[in-house]
Amino acid sequence: MDYNALMVELRRSALLAGDRIMEVYEADDFEVRAKSDDSPVTVADEAADALISERLRAAFPDIALVTEEQAGSHAIEARTFLIVDPLDGTKEFVQRRGDFTVNIALVEDAVPTRGVVYAPAKGRLFYTTADGESVEEIGPFDAETPGDAKPIHVRTPDNGALFVVASKSHRDAATDAYIAKYGVADLKSAGSSLKFCLVATGEADLYPRLGRTMEWDTAAGDAVLRGAGGTVVRFDDHAPFDYGKAGFANGFFIAHAPGVELKTP
């Protein structure tokens, strides 16, 4: 695997897709439709998906591609694959709250090893380098020329005063009850895969998710968090959180910095 070539293309594809998304986001109006699972989809999702898929299939024809917006790809069975959520946080996009991201990741042997998370409305770009370490690039973001990037790393948590981040659109009573088991100094809400990135940069220590997600929602953020020294585990037994599951559906999980004393459900 040529990880240098991979990360150049993943970064470039994410930025170009972000440009397409922002064209729609900044328009006066756009159509919102419901998919078969009642989740929203817009022309921005579809345009970003088409751009990313075309580029990745051309650049890496021998690597399987799974993408949210192409149901036919959800039957793929492979140990190594690229996985894409072209617009994660469509609800945030529709409500113009800015917390949406472009997610592209490489999964190898059930582990997301490389990834990029781009939040175009927030002006934040996170990715793993070719060696698997995570960075945040400082704008302006040029698709052809990487800018200055700073290494990111999880912080050392204080279990009596944790920084916690939870879903903005999907937070519920069960999540609040679980968070209440911890000593919390600050609790913030964020949308999309940005929550993984906040743990990766040390802006949060803990992100529990007690709700439905798919692997394309989490793989890129998971890769960035792992590359910053963090981890993701299953909610029920704290076992490793793996990828390539049938149907690509996730169970509940906890993303956290090492040193957080995880509570049982």
pLDDT at 42 exceeding the cut of 90: no
Q: Is the pLDDT of residue 87 over 60?
A: yes
Please give the DSSP secondary-structure letter assigned to residue 202: T
Interior angle at CA 154, CA 142 and CA 240, nearest 5: 105
Contacts of 195 (CB under 8 A, 6+ apart): 165, 166, 167, 204, 207, 221, 255
Report if residue 231 sits inside a domain: yes
With b meaning 16 or more CB within 10 Å and e meaning fewer, what string describes 217-241?
A: bbbbbbbbbbbbbbbbeebeebeeb
- Tokens at residue 189, please? 């809400």
Per-residue pLDDT band at 262 (split at 50, 70, 90): very high
- Determine the Cα–Cα distance for residues 126 and 241; give it in Å rounded to an integer: 21
Residue 33 shares a structural domain with residue 146: yes
Same domain, 191 and 248: yes
Q: How far apart are CA 116 and CA 84, in angstroms?
A: 10
The CATH number of the domain holding residue 181 is 3.40.190.80
* Residue 179 covered by a domain: yes
Per-residue confidence band for 37, with pLDDT thresholds at 50, 70 and 90: low
Structure confidence at residue 101 as a pLDDT band (50, 70, 90): very high
Quote the pLDDT of residue 90: 85
Instruction: Work out the pLDDT band at 38, boundaries 50, 70, 90.
Output: low
Pairwise CA distance, residues 93 & 25, whole Å: 7
- Identify the burial level of 29 via C-beta atoms within 10 angstroms of its C-beta, where 0-12 means exposed, 13-18 middle and 19 or more buried: exposed
> According to the model, what pLDDT value does residue 31 have?
72
Rounded to whole angstroms, the Cα distance separating 207 from 159 reads 14
Mark whether 168 and 104 lie in a shared domain: no
- Domain identity same for 220 and 143: no
Residues 38 and 134 in one domain: yes
Would you say 211 and 91 are in contact if contact means Cβ atoms under 8 Å apart? no
**Judging by beta carbons within 10 Å of its beta carbon (0-12, 13-18, 19+), is residue 91 exposed, middle or buried?**
middle
User: Same domain for 31 and 131?
Assistant: yes
Residue 127: which CATH number? 3.30.540.10
**Cα atoms found within 13 Å of the Cα of residue 198, Cβ hemisphere only:** 23
pTM of this prediction?
0.95
Report how many domains make up the chain. Answer: 2
Flag whether pLDDT at 91 surpasses 90: no
Structure-token pair, residue 250: 């996730």
Last residue of a domain, one of 96, 124, 151: 151
**230 in any annotated domain:** yes
CA distances from 24 to 28, 177, 209 (A): 8, 38, 29
Under the banding of pLDDT at 50, 70 and 90, the label for residue 28 is confident
Least confident window among 89-103, 107-121, 191-205, 215-229: 89-103
The mean pLDDT value of the chain amounts to: 94
* pLDDT for the residue 168: 74
- Say if residue 180 is in the same domain as residue 124: no
265 falls within a domain: no
Token look-up 């770009």 returns 125
Looking at 151, 173, 207, which one is the last position of a domain?
151
- Residue at 261 is within a domain: no
177 and 117, same structural domain? no
201-238: pLDDT as tens digits: 999 999 999 999 999 999 999 999 999 999 999 999 99
> Which residue did the predictor score with more confidence, 90 or 248?
248
User: Average pLDDT for residues 145-159, to the nearest whole number?
Assistant: 97
Q: Which of 126, 151, 176 is the last residue of a domain?
A: 151
Please state which of the ranges 100-104, 158-162, 169-173 shows the lowest mean pLDDT: 169-173
Residue 262 counted as domain residue: no
Do residue 137 and residue 9 come from a single domain?
yes
| Pairing state between β 253-256 and 231-234 | antiparallel
Beta strands in the chain (DSSP E): 32-34, 40-42, 64-67, 80-88, 101-108, 111-119, 124-128, 134-137, 149-151, 162-167, 184-190, 206-209, 231-234, 253-256
Asked whether residue 147 falls in the same domain as residue 167, the answer is no
As a dihedral over the C-alpha atoms of residue 239, residue 244, residue 248, residue 250, rounded to 10 degrees, the angle is: 10
Residue 188 inside a domain? The answer is yes
- Domain of 244 in residue numbering reads as 162-256
Q: What amino acid is encoded at 110 in this protein?
A: A
Residue 139 pLDDT more than 70?
A: yes
pLDDT at 29 over 90: no
- Domain check: are 174 and 120 in the same one? no
In a domain, 129, yes or no: yes
Q: Are residues 135 and 110 in the same domain?
A: yes
